[in-house]
Structure 1
């Protein structure tokens, strides 16, 4: 029997977070089952990772950081991945997995992973068709297969992309694609009522990849999932939290951690600093640390306070400073600066827009300057 979890993406974050949490849960008998990983691209590095992921002996994840001020280092062996397929070369096999036993579909497809492709069309629903080019279209074909083969069997789609309300947004994309392809209305109704589009938030700094597979990450981990009827989880784990208010978790991570990373990358790019500069090095320099702290306390915290999250934000900031000062992670600002303009729009602009509505007159000079430099 094939694994009940299908994962789109082979990157280091999924290895050190989703795959590791499922592996740890499986050791306690609290995982849904194993994982089939699907490689999305033709990138040679992804191919090497996929080939190594399929090895039966597992892969290493190194957890390094500070916990209550004390250094911690643990070596984990992740054994949750059972097989690795390619989304194009192995498309018939991917379709078979969803028709048969998959109960949860997880994704982390990168910053542009949800972009649609004009060349994808209704003909791709045919049994012998090639794989669509875009991830939303691939997901649509797979769900159409499931609807035809086992419409009464529950299925949860659990995206990990850093998009607010990511489950709802991805569901809207797939439903819109289904209507554009003139899919039958019973299938569209099934997408809307029988598939659980689970919004989630992932929070773990994964700083380095190991070769050929594996990752270096911090000990801290959070996977928060919006509660809703019919939700199936890939595992039970202390780091996997089901919540009625996912937005509170999203705001803390997006407006403090992710915004902080992007602001440091902005300062680094403007100052022409060395390519190998890390978050730790920036946090240890006053010319980086001071503007970051000012932005958190003077431009972001008043917004969170207006939303009733001041105390939560202060607690999160205390732990976040320790995480960013982790002496064991080589988290390069050059890596954070990839897709920088899109990240500024997702991480900085919402804080400015919320301030306009909830804290009129809040100046936010550093956030506005960073947005103007786009």
Structure 2
């Protein structure tokens, strides 16, 4: 049973994003094949998830929210996962799949997934994801196998470039052969990707609840292999416009609302949907979008795209099934304010932005 897609990570995001897309594409005959999922952390409480991911009947994904003005509440079964392995317990099997079957490798390993500490090589299996990936790539190279496509899905800008640099740094220390380095640079495709879907809740033992909106942009390059064809997957020449739309509309909107929540000392458990039920708050956000954000994008040649993305974003914010707490969004607010608002203003210096300037210049603190 060959699985040309190998996935590192069992996150609910991947379950309701890439794995769901691949399952839908398989039904149309438009996917490379099925998936082997690898649990990277060794967390014992996730053992039940592994078995459920590869169950013959699949696992459920519930899609709830609004799209194009319609309420959506439906359930789908995802049957794209053929095999689920633990890196800690099934390392030899992981090596075999990576060496003999994989054509595309996906990953979603969390906020610290790219960290490789000094104890990385303390056990029989490297502790970090980069350490595991490097060992597997060396194993494949040593077996004289052809290259493959890596499509990291971590929320890191230029994630493929970042992962490549990390692997090459580790390679210079752990496997310093020049031929191996040449193979990593010439035969392995390091794809940059952008993923966008809110997956709000896990289901046990496997599955998730997700919003209808879903997007996966993959920056195209010679030799890149996509895992499937799907309406939510877009091969693009440049990720930058898509990164900017997400960061400076969706994420910027979240930070604007968090700033209002903090400065006005609003209810501790207030959600995005609830705060937008306040007509005054909604009007302030709409004014920022229409008078500052969209004109900023228009100044860079993306006005029409920004208008469409704002409309989709407001539908996502109004999702009646999503309880997105502003207290969560407000974490690391100062850093987010710089990246989401300050960087946008710097990117569009020719457009006056008094409302965003007022937010960017304040440092609110949530009392109590």
TM over 0.5: yes
User: Paired residue for 2:138?
Assistant: 144
* Partner secondary structure for residue 109 of structure 1: coil
Q: Which moved more, 1:170-179 or 1:35-44?
A: 35-44
* Partner secondary structure for residue 254 of structure 2: helix
Give 1:317 shift.
0.5
Asked if the contact 1:208/1:330 (under 8 Å) is kept, the reply is no
Tell me, in whole angstroms, the C-alpha distance in 2 between the residues paired with 1:254 and 1:233.
24
Asked if the contact 1:349/1:371 (under 8 Å) is kept, the reply is no
Cα gap change, 1:35 to 1:347, in 2 (>3 Å)? farther
- C-alpha distance after superposition, 1:52-108 (max 9, x if no partner): 213221111111222221212221000011122222222222122111101111111
User: Paired residue for 2:30?
Assistant: 30
* Partner secondary structure for residue 75 of structure 2: strand
User: Paired residue for 1:117?
Assistant: 117
Q: State yes or no: 1:365 paired with 2:357.
A: yes
Tell me, in whole angstroms, the C-alpha distance in 2 between the residues paired with 1:195 and 1:294.
46
User: Paired residue for 1:54?
Assistant: 54
- C-alpha distance after superposition, 1:16-57 (max 9, x if no partner): 110100000011111111111122224455444223213221
Give 1:119 shift.
2.5
User: Paired residue for 1:293?
Assistant: 286
Q: Which moved more, 1:301-310 or 1:10-19?
A: 301-310
* Partner secondary structure for residue 64 of structure 1: strand
Q: State yes or no: 1:209 paired with 2:202.
A: yes
TM-score, normalised via structure 2 length: 0.88
Aligned pairs (5 A) from 1:183-262: 183-262=176-255
User: Paired residue for 2:298?
Assistant: 305
User: Paired residue for 1:135?
Assistant: 129
Cα gap change, 1:262 to 1:140, in 2 (>3 Å)? farther
User: Paired residue for 1:17?
Assistant: 17
Give 1:155 shift.
0.5
Cα gap change, 1:106 to 1:366, in 2 (>3 Å)? farther
RMSD of equivalent CA atoms? 2.7
Aligned pairs (5 A) from 1:308-327: 308-327=301-320
Tell me, in whole angstroms, the C-alpha distance in 2 between the residues paired with 1:51 and 1:370.
49
Asked if the contact 1:203/1:223 (under 8 Å) is kept, the reply is yes
* Partner secondary structure for residue 113 of structure 2: coil
- C-alpha distance after superposition, 1:282-341 (max 9, x if no partner): 222246434543443455434423321122101110121112112133334455456666
Give 1:372 shift.
8.0
| Unmatched tracts of structure 2, length 5 or more | none
Tell me, in whole angstroms, the C-alpha distance in 2 between the residues paired with 1:166 and 1:230.
18
Asked if the contact 1:295/1:367 (under 8 Å) is kept, the reply is no
Q: Which moved more, 1:198-207 or 1:269-278?
A: 269-278
Tell me, in whole angstroms, the C-alpha distance in 2 between the residues paired with 1:370 and 1:237.
43
